[in-house]
Structure 1
Amino acid sequence: MAILEILHFPDPRLREVTEPITVFDEALSRFIDDMFETMYDAPGVGLAATQVGDIRRVAVMDCSEDKNERIVMCNPRILWSEDEEVVDEGCLSVPEHYDRVTRATRLAFAAQDRDGSEYEMEVEGLLAQCVQHELAHLDGGLYIDKLSRLKRERIRRKMAKNAKRQDEA
């Protein structure tokens, strides 16, 4: 397994829309393992393929305290959602920035696992928030898209300034 590089906003690759997975093979399985290793190392509770520069429609999550409840979502889609609340949210691709966004509190989604087997799951709370966050990534979105244009621009400027400092170091 390997730790993958996590892309940071405003990298344009974060805006790419993913393509459905049609081949479920050993290479995909290794990539999924690498995604989990990268997510745990970051540390985070979810990671989408676009965050590591890949356009396959796959995301991984583990919102458990013990980090032992892995969820693989290949070709996911939300079936229904209900109720909304304002929650604090951050992102591995927008490090050190957090804000409040509105998310559904409960939802059901359908996806395929790493072997291509289809499944459905009903989730709530943090896991529901994570599903929505990762699906947004797979569609080329970021949680900061839910913020005002002024807040997004401030974050973009800070991220660009930090990247420039790192390049100079």
Structure 2
Amino acid sequence: ATQQKADAAIGAVEATQQKADAAITAVDAITGRARGAVERAEGAVGGAEGLVGRIDPLLAGYEEPLSRLAPSVRRLAETLEPHEVEALVALVDRLPTLVTHLDESMMPVLESLADVGTDVHDLVDTMQDIREVVKGFPGSKLFRRRGREEIAEDGNDGGAQERIGS
């Protein structure tokens, strides 16, 4: 009976040892997986630290202007419709062409308008001189009266002639 109890105890110890060995093997596997997870986590943390190191100065530079723009951006987001955004994009796409046309076509015309006042003044002076010369011709009153009469007749008949096609 003692032998049987000793054999049973030895069997129980062997079973316990097998279970302990299995547990140790499982713990080793879990430890290996945990070690791999820790290494991956350390790599991710290292990458995140590098990313944060690069982004932090950028954010520091943009934080204050973006904070000031936030109300305007919110209002813009609330009021803009998709078709307005598309129109704005189309306008921005056309801006280079528009600026080129303004620079090449419109600006020279606008710059030449600065001389128009002087040119008109010169024309008025010239017309005044011509008027004085014409008044000096003998019979100029007769010519002026005839001219007024013809202009009046043209004004009365001009509309009818234009309608007829003459």
- Please, what TM-score do these two structures have when normalized by structure 1? 0.18
Question: Looking at CA atoms only, which structure, 1 or 2, has the larger radius of gyration?
Answer: 2
Higher relative contact order (Cα pairs below 8 Å, separated by 6+ residues): 1
More strand by share: 1
